[in-house]
Structure 1
Amino acid sequence: SPPTGPDGRGSGDYDSGGAISRTPRGGNLFNGAQYQRPVALAVPIPVPIRSGGAVQGYVREADFYVALIASDETDGNYETEYSFGTARGHLDMMKDGTYVQVIGLTFKSKEQISMDMVQKMPAAGKDYPYNKTSEVLWRRTYVPDKRDDGSYPGANIAELLYANETNGAFLVIVGTTTGYGRTFGGYDNFTATVGWSASGADGYITKLNHLTGEELSPENDSNDTQWKSSARIMSQPGKIDIIHGACLDVENKYIYVVGSTTGTMDSLMKRSHSEGVPFPFVAKVSLHSLELEWKTQYATSAGMGAAATGCSPHPDGNGVYIAGTVQNGDVLHHWKDANLKTSSSGMDDVFLSLLDEDSGAVRWIRQLGTPHDDVLAGGQGGGLMVKKDG
């Protein structure tokens, strides 16, 4: 949380006996790995309080959930990226040894906070006193199975969602892995063939118990053969299929996943000059069975790379929006209809597209940008938000 001053505003700097101090609002320090990077936050949907049919307010649950990418490697998993002349360090999310953590927390009362000692990090110095305003309920680590040579494939997480079905609430983690494992979509016949190779990457969707972080089990009917807790999203063996974002439909019955693939998600699509180039894809998946409802793919006119990074359902359920980036002045179109395209503003552009929720048919595509590089903001939602009125 950002720091706040005694008046609740600003940076929190104030004069106390001639010394400048900071009064942070508080937070929770995570540790336990060489590197950790929070990437997603899930908060339960507020429950409406109704009186005479009208909503008078909302009851908010105190629990919330944080997903992190972590690594215990001392080298090889941390790299420096230069952007606009500024160096930024971050985890290389596709390298071996990277894994996923999810933490369940709950907010503490003012009385509990007042009884706690202020958190201190010796390496951070005296300018890092944060009150511990939340308590860890559970912490889970998810690591792909070890390869035959003793190494561990990498795994990352793109989105953490809180779903509330008629049968109850649960969490959904969505991401990408170069390995296999129960939490990462299980196994398939291709596993033995590749010998746990990292030559490709696949997406995964996994449901978790929001009370424990364990992989979800069917509560009402253990004989439900259609129910699944984890599934993979993939094109062909050896291809790079990366999930960049995900969103739930308005009724929490389906999940949309978006990303990029060097393969073909649509079996009828033919690649020619663009072999190995990432193209955007969208898939609609049943939350109950984790079976594909439909999947579709975009292409570019000159074969430059592009990726879908965010999605959001239309508030009335009439369609789903996706957004992403097109590289190097190219123009995005749907592979089935090259006429369904727009124009480039130059260099990298942002794109926005609306699809039919039932069939996945593309209704329209727009490309936005300047003569220079343009990119969507990162974080949850992939830089895309939709107002209530659409």
Structure 2
Amino acid sequence: MILTKQTAIEIIPKSKNAICQLVMNSDQYVLSAIALIVSIKQQVAENRPDFIVFTHNITEQASQQLALVADHVIPIELICYKVNNNMWPRFQHNYAWLESCFSKFYAFKLVQYAKVLFLDSDMLCLADMSKIFQLQTPAGCLVSKSKSGFHSSVRLPEFEILSALMSGYGVSGACWMISPKLGDFELLLQRVEQRVQETGFYSESITSFKPKLNLNQIMRDGDFRHPQDIEYHFKRGFNAGPDEQLLTWFYFNEWVNISRQFCCVPWLKHRFERGEFPLQYVKGVNYQQSLTISDQIDLNGDQKNTCRTVYLIHYVAEKPWQGIGSGKPLWPDCKLFFDMLGMWAEGKEYVVQVFGEIDKFEYMAQKDADATWDNDFRRKFDK
């Protein structure tokens, strides 16, 4: 049965919590979703969450391969609304599927679970990430221009959220965790439909956020003299995608942070681990309590350690398979992905069918990759 906006998800949970993904249109993304699940299972030995994959327009063979690793594979009808594809060039070039990005919010229908962690399928687990389920919900990874990011568990200040929406992606659509409640899915879509009716497509703005804002607190945090200064400061609009704007708006006053260690771009992984991006601390309303939790989750109990474990990497924009057949070595972080698929014995034939003989791929040296990153404006500033 195909899941639609009007139907409920009728599954029996095996675990208290779940990890959810969305896969559409592509065998490559199917294998990416599989690599993520296999990598989590490799790192998390006990009390594993249920693995749920929403799918659209994939083959029967692909569904069968997913069923080998996932607890539930659920075909869906896409949730599509008009969006502004012309806002930034990157949307036009990299995100042709953007109108259907709202389909990930079927996760809000998983009311059978205490906590549901949504992860983009182009992610990979490198260490035991199960501690993330200790966080209160809603929890999300705030992505701004700062590569370091804030510590886990802190209640995110409104000024920092708005700044991240403008300079980065707000609460990332790639890594967020909720405790689904009956009716929230419908409220979410009502908001989209309201904004489409008002503006012709879905988007938010500083004006549409106004009813949710604590203006006095934002004035203090942003060093503004007058309330109208806030609107002027954010007038150029939000950089974040429509799914991220909606998600950030829905729980605006409630978000607790997930460290960037759970959603790290792959070309910075080794730099996080050697201490180049020490954890940043921000004073939310639960600041003291959050420090204790952050010490255990982000720093593994070592308060002096600036070398941060990376739990999950996110192959944002550039996917591991994009360089296949180019005649050039692949990025070194791509080796992590293909090595993981190489360990998945059950699907060896499917992997070869989609990607070829992955054990013959060649990879760039890390020092050469670092030199490219240091001199590549887009990689350095636009991720």
Normalised to the residue count of structure 1, the TM-score between the two structures is 0.24
Larger Rg: 1
Ranked by relative contact order (alpha carbons within 8 Å, sequence separation 6 or more), the top structure is 2
Higher helix share: 2
Higher share in strand: 1
